Homo-oligomer: A and B are copies of this chain.
Amino acid sequence: MLNRKVIMAIADGLGDRPHTLLGDKTPLEYARTPNLDHLASEGITGMMDLIAPGIPVGTDMGHLILFGYQPHHYPGRGPIEALGIGMEVKPGDIVFRCNFATVDENGIVVDRRAGRIRKKTEEIAQAINGIELEDGVVAYFKPATEHRAVLILRGAGLSDKISDSDPKAPNDGKPYHLVEPLDSSEEAERTAFLLNLYLKKAHEILSAHPVNVERVEAGNLPANFILTRGAGRMVDIEPVAEKLKINVSCIAGESTVLGAAELAGYKILTSNSMTGNIDTNIELKARLAIEEIANNDIVYVHMKAPDVKGHDNEPLEKAKSIELFDHMVGLIRQQLPENVYLALAADHSTPCEVGEHTGEPVPVVISGPSIRRDRVLQYNELDCAYGGLGHLTGGDFVRILHDFMGLVKKQGN
């Protein structure tokens, strides 16, 4: 067996549409991308729909597919968010996305984001983490960025069919909601009861916490309540790394991508200098990619900026971020070992004029040893539609790479 490996470079939200500001080119066509084009001309190209033509996907879903899962494995946003901030998540856990919030003595939500609290959230979170409720159910709580946090209820017989305590409406004088069961099961009733119990305890603890006392004294809103939303039950899903018996690294700055990688059983490498924007540390990413491929089978290296610029409708900035991606890929190319395929992909399109994810396909390339080189010379949404891979799904694309590595089981004999 040939010892073949893969580095996949992912430009988040790369796909776009022709834009008048760019002379009716897409940002990817407009950008100067000698390295991406070189890979296209040396490799085989195609157009990829992550799930199927016309279906937009989120960053979490897109990456789960690129990491080797099927769409139906999707465990919900909560578990991925939890994994992304380094929480352990077990099958059966009920996971909530949370906000630190401020409520008054009548339970009215004064601020859904506790004055956009940024400091000492680690400290106050610690005070409400690891609380044992009833019947062995334990609540784990961890802050994410700014006012965001994740709550996990762990124990037997829990359900995610419960409502939100978050009233969502922005600070309009509504009270927080009591959590209700959403079906008639005993599990839902019990989970709603336990969560209400936890929220009450947390409120008591937080109200008296020195950090909040300090905040009130300084004229800031206290983070004295936890608003929960989007209950999700962690599925029992075999990590891709275990299933395929491979070692994989994922280099990224964004917690959603890191969470999906964690779910797949991949080693995650991150750094504060990987910012999720145009100032991200591409030299570090490229260096780590080369270092990691020495001892791993696959390395994913991710760049967030094109998606951000798409959401912001900044086509020129998007083109610039793509040139950075090109530069990063160039650095990887320079030191690429001979037995490593270098693949280019994206998790979805984020056309500037839409400012949101759309279901348009993204261009892909596979270059590397003994590839069936096609006639496409440039990496973009138009040229790659004429590529040798044709139109394929995200599942197809990843399976092709796995097959190049000898990881796909032969059907029949």
Distance, CA A399 to CA B358, complexed state (A): 11
A353 vs chain B, min Cβ distance (A): 6
Distance, CA A56 to CA B390, complexed state (A): 19
Contact at A56–B382, with CB atoms within 8 Å? no
Determine if A320 is an interface residue (Cβ-Cβ < 8 Å).
Answer: no
Contact at B399–A54, with CB atoms within 8 Å? yes
- Scan residues 373-413 of chain A and give those whose CB is less than 8 A from a CB of chain B: 373-375, 381-382, 385-392, 396-404, 406, 408-413
Q: How many chain copies?
A: 2
Determine if A166 is an interface residue (Cβ-Cβ < 8 Å).
Answer: no
A84 vs chain B, min Cβ distance (A): 12
Contact of A412 among B18, B26, B59, B359 (CB under 8 A): B59
Contact at A56–B408, with CB atoms within 8 Å? yes
Contact at A411–B373, with CB atoms within 8 Å? no
A351 vs chain B, min Cβ distance (A): 7
A395 vs chain B, min Cβ distance (A): 8
Contact at B382–A374, with CB atoms within 8 Å? yes
In the bound complex, residues from chain B placing their C-beta under 8 Å from that of A390 are: 47, 385, 390-391
A392 vs chain B, min Cβ distance (A): 6
Contact at B54–A408, with CB atoms within 8 Å? yes
Determine if A17 is an interface residue (Cβ-Cβ < 8 Å).
Answer: yes
Main secondary structure of the interface of A (DSSP, over half): loop
Contact at A54–B400, with CB atoms within 8 Å? yes
Contact of A411 among B74, B392, B398, B400 (CB under 8 A): B74
In the bound complex, residues from chain B placing their C-beta under 8 Å from that of A61 are: 411-413
**Also in contact, A413 and B60, with CB within 8 A (given A54-B399, A358-B403, A385-B390):** yes
Contact at A411–B2, with CB atoms within 8 Å? no
**Also in contact, A411 and B58, with CB within 8 A (given A19-B370, A390-B391):** yes
Determine if A31 is an interface residue (Cβ-Cβ < 8 Å).
Answer: no
Distance, CA A384 to CA B198, complexed state (A): 61
Distance, CA A74 to CA B19, complexed state (A): 40
Contact at B53–A359, with CB atoms within 8 Å? no
Distance, CA A64 to CA B413, complexed state (A): 11
Determine if A215 is an interface residue (Cβ-Cβ < 8 Å).
Answer: no
A280 vs chain B, min Cβ distance (A): 22
In the bound complex, residues from chain B placing their C-beta under 8 Å from that of A408 are: 54-56, 359
A103 vs chain B, min Cβ distance (A): 26
Contact of A370 among B56, B77, B353, B386 (CB under 8 A): B353
A16 vs chain B, min Cβ distance (A): 9
- Scan residues 57-107 of chain A and give those whose CB is less than 8 A from a CB of chain B: 57-62, 64, 71, 74, 77
**Also in contact, A400 and B53, with CB within 8 A (given A58-B412, A373-B382):** yes
A44 vs chain B, min Cβ distance (A): 8
In the bound complex, residues from chain B placing their C-beta under 8 Å from that of A74 are: 411-412
In the bound complex, residues from chain B placing their C-beta under 8 Å from that of A353 are: 2, 370
A324 vs chain B, min Cβ distance (A): 23
In the bound complex, residues from chain B placing their C-beta under 8 Å from that of A371 are: 17-18
Closest 7 CB pairs of A and B: A61-B412, A58-B412, A54-B399, A359-B403, A390-B391, A53-B396, A54-B400
A54-B401, A56-B408, A353-B370 given. 8 additional CB < 8 A pairs? Answer: A18-B371, A54-B398, A57-B411, A61-B413, A77-B413, A351-B370, A358-B404, A372-B381
Task: Supply 19 A–B pairs (Cβ within 8 Å), ascending by A.
Answer: A18-B373, A26-B372, A52-B396, A53-B400, A54-B399, A55-B399, A55-B411, A56-B409, A56-B411, A57-B410, A58-B411, A61-B412, A62-B412, A71-B411, A77-B412, A353-B370, A359-B400, A359-B403, A382-B388
